[in-house]
Amino acid sequence: MAELKEKIELEFIIKTSPSILFNRLSTPSGLSEWFADDVNVKGDKYTFIWEGTGQEAKLISKKDNKHIRFHWTDDEEENTYFEFSINVDEITGETALVVTDFIENDEKEDSIELWNQQIDQLKHGLGSV
């Protein structure tokens, strides 16, 4: 039996508006700036391409300027997903990006490091470094 994956949540402060950030999280052109080399969308299927190899994810839910959630189609665990949520602090007005992902326990450190690198790339593209 496969080992259950662990849910992780990582929060990053991004100096930009929720609408600009959401565009980078939900559109093929936005995602290909920081998350994958290329992204193709057909209906609710997103194909993320890295170094010529594609991986398909299904769009599970989306709320403009709030969140977008995907499920990898090759993941046998039904309840796993990766999600980008945007939270705006009511007091400070800061925009936070929360990344939720499900990872193998032995890949936790590598996964967190990869997300950190990708979010740094996102921030750089937004001029939010």
Number of structural domains in the chain: 1
CATH of the domain at 65: 3.30.530.20
pLDDT of residue 4: 81
- Within 8 A by CB and 6+ apart from 10, the residues are 98, 99, 101, 112, 115, 116, 119
Residue 17 lies in a domain: yes
Parent domain of 62:
6-126
pTM: 0.93
The pLDDT tens digits of the residues spanning 87-114 come to 999 999 999 999 999 998 889 999 999 9
How distant is the alpha carbon of residue 111 from its chain centre?
A: 12
